[in-house]
A and B are shown apart, each in its own frame.
Chain A
């Protein structure tokens, strides 16, 4: 009879355990954390190989697209998502906004000593679910632990790789006077949802974050009218206003918006009114702005509306010739004003 035990290892105490410095030290504890928590959840071919990096083929006729995004949202869990799902959606969207098909993700965790394993598991599983739903596997990663007080729970950096055909040219500098400005839906939900759970505010709301992966919406738009979409961008931090100003500056154009056309949920509108925020500057995590050739705007808009993430897509304005790159807006009230860059921080640590 053999005395060899099955694993010679005591499993992680997910229910009561906490991260300690050993989990980041590269020894047995680190290996166990990676195996029992990360690989178990993400379960990708790349991770299972256990190498320092992942290798993959590049399809012919394509360029590679790479994007990276750090996620430091506070609180870690908010209505409609958490830092895990957000870290997948954020980077998938950044890749998609280049007109690319996202293929793989890399994830880097910076975890604070003392962080409960149960919460880490919840985050990792949510991340795995988001990655599976998007069809973009996490193929490589890293885990570091910092002393208590030197981090704030968990920070997750993700990097995405995607491919875009040579024929597709999408970039912030491509907007031309006369182009249509399209928006995929209502604005401000993510920022208000996160804010509603902040310790200092904690107000009752039914608003959920719009956090979502937008690459299939992008694919539908590009297929609807090849060559028509010139600029794609997701209005995250700084909101719609900041994104439009970025595009205007990059392209050397102005914009004229119609305030009445910009959709805002009544709950978001009310929360913003209460907190003194302008929904135009509040973050989104599942919306996109597109600038497209005016003659194809209707076709692109129809494709957006036919997609579950673009049901409330609208045309919100027009690109103008303007050496000062002003984004202006006809107000609902009948006046006109500048929609400026966000100045200072409206809401820190929103994503």
Chain B
């Protein structure tokens, strides 16, 4: 595949790996890749194997499905089962565990009309085709999926669609990064030495590289924005190692083929027109994070499913044994969790990190768990 294979070249990867081994010397390095897309690339292509032993990658909270709290899924299930609406959402959301051993998939089996869509526009189309039914788009995701939701709401407004609304759970990347940097483990105790960040790929296409300048300066942490291909990740790690070695803490852009300093201004304007900041939003694993999510502006209130169905948010505590919060902040590894791979598996996820293949636990379970157990690969002739 043109423009893809170039960024999956094994020979180039080995060259970058050699440089990394030469340059990452005399200390240990810990970098957090914020995005689930990077976590997935690291696992799927076996990048951990290519990194020097003293370079550790911490999987961050940038998986939109993983950070969705139980209470939010409960709302979507209530809309489907109690209000009889058609609930449309992205595929990964279907399996997130909710209260009462339910999930959207299980609610569907109980008679809820829950449909998987590939875009917000598909949900809008379903609303047009079913004028007698309420159609709710359960909108999740970071800045990447927010503009399409904004567009769907604006289009519905212009078409005066009266049966379409959005359960808005869009969250913001910069506030989550700040939250991690402000967490006691990182800021005070120094138990989680985060030496730098691999910055988001697709999110940065929308918001640009400028919003990260603050972390680099305020927290003195280097940020390298990187694409989601494996070579992007390798190159970003090398750039981070160099910044650390040279005592720099700057925002660098490895993903120049897509990311600019100011980002996509049209998308930003669209989002600003339809959404405003929520004073606080619950993240699974991180808890309440101030100004970390968006809600629908009063001008578009009739498209806000929370108002339309009079839904009150009820927070639901995670399973006590679940270590997702500590894992999302980089304090613990998936294997530090007692229920990892025993009670909590991809088939029966207890914690959010096990739900999507972009989650730290699911990625380790699905692609990397052989590393926990010494396996004899040599065979008798």
Q: A residues near B, CB below 8 A?
A: 177-178, 200-201, 254, 256, 266, 269-270, 273, 278, 318-322, 324, 326, 328, 330-338, 340, 343-344
Contact = CB atoms under 8 A, between A and B. Distances in A.
Interface in B72-104: 95
B8 interface: yes
Contacts of A334: 10, 13-14, 17, 46, 49-50
B366 A200 contact: no
B299 interface: no
Given A177-B380, A322-B375, A344-B95, A337 B346 contact: no
A318 B377 CA distance: 10
9 smallest CB-CB distances across A and B, nearest first, come from A335-B46, A343-B346, A335-B49, A333-B45, A337-B367, A334-B10, A177-B379, A340-B366, A337-B46
Interface string B331-370: 0000000000000001100000000000000000111111
B373 A332 contact: no
What DSSP secondary structure best describes chain B's contact surface?
Answer: helix
A273 B1 CA distance: 9
A340 B48 CA distance: 18
Interface string B206-235: 000000000000000000000000100000
Contact of A333 (B8, B365, B380): B8
Contact of B380 (A178, A273, A336): A178
Contacts of B204: none
A266, A319, A340 interface centre (most CB from chain B within 10 Å)? A340
A254 B377 CA distance: 8
A338 B95 CA distance: 22
B4 interface: yes
B41 to A, nearest CB: 9
How would you classify the secondary structure of chain A's contact residues: helix, strand, loop or mixed? loop
A121 B291 CA distance: 61
Contacts of A338: 366-370
A172 B45 CA distance: 29
A321 B116 CA distance: 41
B188 to A, nearest CB: 36
Given A273-B1, A273-B4, A319-B379, A333 B13 contact: yes
A268 to B, nearest CB: 11
Given A178-B381, A344-B346, A270 B375 contact: no
Given A322-B375, A336-B46, A337-B43, A328 B370 contact: yes
Nearest to B115: A200
B44 interface: yes
A328 B117 CA distance: 32
B118 interface: yes
Contacts, number: 93
A270 B10 contact: no
Given A322-B376, A324-B375, A343-B366, A332 B8 contact: yes
A326 B372 CA distance: 12
B373 A324 contact: yes
A343 B344 CA distance: 13
Given A270-B1, A273-B4, A340-B366, A333 B377 contact: no
B328 to A, nearest CB: 21
Nearest to B51: A335
B192 interface: no
Contacts of B347: 343-344
Given A273-B1, A331-B45, 7 more contacts: A200-B116, A266-B1, A322-B375, A335-B48, A338-B369, A340-B346, A343-B346
A269 B1 contact: yes
B185 interface: no
A324 B1 contact: no
A200 B116 CA distance: 9
A331 B9 CA distance: 11
A200 B121 CA distance: 11
Contacts of B17: 334
A322 B8 CA distance: 29
A282 to B, nearest CB: 15
A103 to B, nearest CB: 38
A70 to B, nearest CB: 19
Given A200-B117, A340-B367, A335 B379 contact: no
From A200, A201, A322, A334, name the one whose CB has the most chain B CB atoms within 10 angstroms: A334
Interface in B254-301: none
Interface string B105-122: 000000000001110001
B1 A328 contact: no
B244 interface: no
A184 B10 CA distance: 26
A106 to B, nearest CB: 31
Contacts of A178: 379-381
A337 B369 CA distance: 8
Interface centre among A201, A270, A344 (most CB of B within 10 A): A344
B151 interface: no
B326 interface: no
